[in-house]
Amino acid sequence: MRRAIALVVLFVSLPLAAVAQQPGPQPLTGPLEHFEFLSLYDFQLEINVLSGDNGNQYRWDTHWGGAVDVLNYVKGRVSFVGDYEAVVGSEFRPFDPNQGIYILEPSTSWFVGDQEFAFVFHHVSRHLSDRPKVYSVAWNVVEGRYLHKFDFPHATTLSVRASAGHVAQHATVDYTWELDWDVTARHRMNPHLEWYGRSTGEMYGVAAVPLDIDRGVQHTARLELGTRLTGVKADLELFVGAEHRLDASIFQFVPVSWAIAGFRVASK
């Protein structure tokens, strides 16, 4: 219990400097007892309003996507993640999508006891909306991942997902290696309501090329606190938080800070 609490404190207390929140398979309490096809499906629809003096480029942040366990072979699972993020400003019109970010990720895992270890291929591609762009902004990461869900008394859980890997290919970015995490603590108040706190983020090692600048190690994190309302077919999360996004613009490699408030519809 003390180690779990220390882990939450460690991740939440990291400096706030974030890239987009990363989707991925959710940690399980342990392996299944028998073979299953399409054993788990997680979907999210998320909208955040962004604060701060960021001009007209950053007003809203949205996510659509999900993760599916294609095959569960008792000792592990084959999973696939697809996520699309649209950044919305007000440069040309009140709601002006100006940037799209695609994440695609296949993975395969193996359980050691109730601890899960995965091999992951993580792809990120960034695009402009309604604006010309003739060059590619993308990177591929080959990484290892650890997943585990801790169950505590009094209807309290702690889900941990952490990865580390090598940037095997990149275009118009200077990333060389990556660390990322997603830590969520939940406490159920009654059958219809629970409180949660979540920290997500990344760290990147960078090279002097292709940007021809020495930026040092870049770090990333997002903190949100909220409630989860239980529905029949899906759940609704309402949250507030803070984010300092690394390389928020495709054109300028500088961080941008904002407070966030939003909602997320998540499958059960």
109 with 119: CB under 8 angstroms?
A: yes
- What's the Cα-to-Cα distance from 42 to each of 46, 50, 64, 142, 186, rounded to whole Å? 13, 25, 11, 23, 17
pLDDT tens digits for range 158-172? 999 999 999 999 888
Cα(91)–Cα(85) distance, integer angstroms: 18
What is the pLDDT at residue 136? 86
What pLDDT, in 10s, does the model give residues 48-92? 999 876 668 888 999 999 999 999 999 999 999 999 999 988 888
Per-residue pLDDT at 206 exceeds 80? yes
pLDDT at residue 1, rounded to an integer:
45
State mean pLDDT over 187-202: 94
Query: Which CATH number belongs to the domain containing residue 254 in this structure?
Result: 2.40.160.40
Q: Is the pLDDT of residue 156 over 90?
A: yes
Supply the pTM of this predicted model: 0.83
Q: Do residues 165 and 177 make contact, with C-beta atoms less than 8 angstroms apart?
A: yes
- 212: left (phi > 0), else alpha (psi -120 to 50), else beta? left
Burial bucket for residue 113 (CB in 10 Å: 0-12, 13-18, 19+): exposed
Domain ranges, residue 180:
2-267
**Domain count along the chain:** 1
Q: pLDDT at residue 265 above 50?
A: yes
User: Which residue type occupies 62?
Assistant: T
Closest to 231 in 3D by CA, of 188, 172, 191: 191
* Helix, coil or strand: residue 8: helix
Q: In 3-state terms, the chain is what percent helix, strand and coil (to 5)? A: 5, 65, 30
pLDDT value of position 193: 96
The answer for residues whose C-beta is within 8 angstroms of residue 8's C-beta and 6 or more apart is: 158, 183, 185, 197, 199
Of the chain, the percentage scoring pLDDT greater than 70 comes to 88
CA 88 – CA 94 distance, rounded (Å): 9
Q: Which residue has the tokens 């859980």?
A: 157
pLDDT tens for 234-251 read 999 999 999 988 888 877
Separation CA 247–CA 151 (nearest Å)? 36
- Under the phi-then-psi rule, with left for phi > 0, alpha for psi from -120 to 50, and beta for the rest, what region is 94? alpha
The whole-number pLDDT of residue 210 equals 57
* Average pLDDT of the segment spanning 21-36: 82
Strongest mean pLDDT among 44-58, 139-153, 197-211:
139-153
Q: Using 50, 70 and 90 to split pLDDT, how confident is the model at 6?
A: very low
Residue 177 pLDDT exceeds 90: yes
pLDDT at 2 over 90: no
- What SS3 state is found at 110? strand
pLDDT at 252: 75
Q: Which residue has the tokens 């500088």?
A: 254
Mean pLDDT (the chain, rounded): 85
What's the average model confidence in pLDDT over 175-182? 93
Residue pair 206/175 in contact by the 8 Å Cβ criterion: yes
What would the DSSP string read from start to end of 54-90? -TTT-SEEEEEEEEEEEEE-SS-EEEEEEEEEEEEE-
* pLDDT tens column, 13-26: 333 333 445 567 88
Residue 102 pLDDT grade (very low, low, confident, very high; cuts 50, 70, 90): very high
Tell whether the model's pLDDT for residue 31 goes beyond 80: yes
